Structure 1
């Protein structure tokens, strides 16, 4: 097993330095386009201590990174930098975002760890507004009042949407909405009398609408 002492925890990364050596697992990845940065490849990474960080790279590096750093695999990365994190919705609460550039070195790790590093949100904190809407959340519960999958117009495009309520072990419930391929995954269960436990990762909290998970532009 890899020696944890040879790697820097993600929470120790600081700007103005690039000789970091980290060991991370890719939890999620997606393509993104913004007017400021253009096309980029975005990731959420976790280290063996459970720390998580948002990482980004240029679109030109996407194929290389997808090949060397696939989802659910551990890798060693050297020579990365960090910049202040921002944006309307943030995937982690860490104040920095990692930048993987051309000079980064990615290699295999011998660490075997199947943890998925959930950060489950509390239903009551979502309902009473103490859970900040700026951060994406993980949430799990039993699906209740599952509606039909509908096709709606969004910015001139047809998109599928399904709405339901998610209930936790204490009976608290949240209004939920899934879009795109995530809505299609629930289409098979519509109208059936069975218990469905649903885990939603990186969901947006929307005021008056509960939580929302949008598959648009995600992997």
Structure 2
């Protein structure tokens, strides 16, 4: 009788003990770096039954095992911490997840009965029908059907395109940062007339908003993008897509379509993929689902809270900083000699029988006032006022202004974020015509505002709405793709360091998306 512990199945792992013995294949491996925290390794393990579980290797154990952990190799592993799989975004649907400890041991061993890894792709039809878990990352594959948008000239790099799967269903896909650059490099060097097949792992599914269907994007860390002959069994997938009709005529018109989108007017981009709602309708929303809206209103009065009119933020990412000692390194990795003052102002906005609490952020305030928060604070200090609750008179330039707002409603945070604002009378009228008439207020203090700016008016209609094209510094979450709002599109900004990358061939006939 053997005195060794028997092998146990992945499906049976739970938090009742630490002494486990499993035989597994590493099917995926990636490195996670969230400054200033030390990086760590994430892996997906699969056993002989094909069941999978996610495992974390902290920095200390990573240094011990990094040279021994190889994707697609098989191992015998002992002893883990087992936790409930409460990650905000999960790479597999096991109820538990593992973590290496100082007591973990492993050895590489050929285990013949563990099958080779095969992708299980999420069907587009299921996603479009709402048959998905928003917290579960998925693998997808499709052929590029149409280019939609590309921006690689700025620090916020993104590309948006439509993918079509073998059933002919179409999904919108957004790639960020290094993934966007890789896609553009491939697109620019593909032979004209040839389809582009894209495989994206650990993709995040974003729930649809109103009439707009769900979309997918790469996740913060862990997503890998494989294009054309990088994909295992590429010819099989190429054959499955061969009979599909593509919107951009096998991509030969892709550059033209991209140019047409990029030339949309500012007003069209302002309204892109957003629902028109009045302040009253926004305040009345009861669903926990995030939704992007455009609305109009007039700034009426400041709402004074404990923070004052500015906060101390990072020089680069605008995240709120609570650093007591300077200099310091922000979580985004930026070294700061001193905190940078940034505007943050709560303003009551009214329209007809609705009102809302809007949070104006640094970029919009500076654009309207014409002075940075740093300079304005220095002026106040020079006059003997160093209290952030002492509001400079210059801030009144933000009041009594009728504007159009692009709003991201986030009920789970009891607030919203607006990526853009506009004082275009044409745009304001176009929005107002969709839910009622509006008397446009101009000047510093309109008579129409008198008697309508009492704080107790907020109780019935108030909603908390952030107006920003920057981060909301109080709401950045490190466990999710970082939410940096685009000026035009309400999409998440992930950074995607991956454990290993693939170089693209550039030896084909080129057609160009302009890249940095």
Task: Answer whether TM exceeds 0.5 for this pair.
Answer: yes
Secondary structure at the aligned position of 2:152 is classed as: strand
Compute the TM-score of the two structures, normalised by the length of structure 1.
Answer: 0.84
TM-score (ref. length: structure 2): 0.38
Q: Secondary structure at the match of 1:88?
A: coil
Does 2:106 align with 1:106? yes
3-state SS of paired residue (2:175): strand
Does structure 2 retain, via aligned residues, the 8 Å contact 1:55–1:97? yes
Deviations 1:3-56 (A, max 9, x none): xx9532111111131221112222122214499x86433222222221111111
Residue 82 of structure 1 contacts residue 98 of structure 1 at CA under 8 Å; is this kept in 2? yes
Alignment correspondent of 1:129:
130
Mapped to 1, the partners of 2:116 and 2:148 lie a distance apart of: 32
2: CA distance, partners of 1:204 / 1:40: 21
CA displacement at 1:173 relative to structure 2 = 0.7
CA contact (8 A) 2:43 2:55 kept: yes
Gaps of 5+ in 1: none
CA distance 1:161–1:116, shift in 2 (3 Å) = farther
Q: 1:205 to 1:59 in 2, by over 3 A?
A: same
Partners in 2 of 1:102 and 1:127 — Cα distance?
44
CA change 1:146–1:193 in 2 (3 A) is farther
Partners of 1:146 and 1:190 within 8 A in 2:
no
TM-aligned CA distance change 1:182 to 1:53, over 3 Å: same
Note the 1:37-186 alignment, pairs <5 A: 39-111=39-111, 115-146=116-147, 149-151=150-152, 158-186=155-183
| Equivalent residue, structure 2, for 1:24 | 24
Shift of 1:104: 0.5
Distance 1:181 1:100 in 2: 29
Secondary structure, aligned partner of 2:17: coil
Deviations along 1:61-91, one digit per CA (max 9) or x if unpaired, are 2232321112222111111231101122111
Once residues 79 and 19 of structure 2 are traced to their aligned partners in structure 1, the CA distance between those partners, rounded to angstroms, is: 5
Q: Where is the helix percentage greater, Structure 1 or Structure 2? A: 2
| Structure richer in strand, relative to its length | 1
Structure 2 equivalent of residue 201 of structure 1: 201
Pair 125,34 (structure 1): closer, same or farther in 2 beyond 3 Å: farther
Q: Give the match for residue 13 of structure 2.
A: 13
Q: Structure 1 residue 103: deviation in Å?
A: 0.9
In terms of mean alpha carbon deviation, does 141-150 or 16-25 score higher? 141-150
How many residues are paired up? 210
Counterparts of 1:72 and 1:81, CA distance in 2: 23
Alignment partner of 1:188: what SS? Answer: helix
1:128 offset after TM fit, Å?
1.7
Mean Cα deviation higher: 86-95 or 209-218: 209-218
| Distance of 1:80 and 1:11 partners within structure 2 | 15
Computed over aligned residues only, the root mean square deviation of the Cα atoms, in angstroms, reads 2.5
CA distance in 1, matches of 2:84, 2:38: 18
CA offset at residue 159 of structure 1? 3.6
Residue 210 of structure 1 corresponds to which residue in structure 2?
A: 215
Please report how far the alpha carbon of residue 149 of structure 1 lies from its aligned counterpart in structure 2 after TM superposition. Answer: 4.4
Instruction: Give the Cα–Cα distance (whole angstroms) in 2 for the partners of residues 108 and 47 of structure 1.
Output: 14
- Structure 1 residues 130 and 24: CA distance shift in structure 2, 3 A: same
When residues 9 and 32 of structure 1 are mapped into structure 2, their CA distance, relative to the original with a 3 A threshold, is farther
Instruction: Specify the alignment match of 2:305 in structure 1.
Output: none
- 1:144/1:167 contact within 8 Å kept: yes
How far apart are residue 170 of structure 1 and its match?
A: 1.5
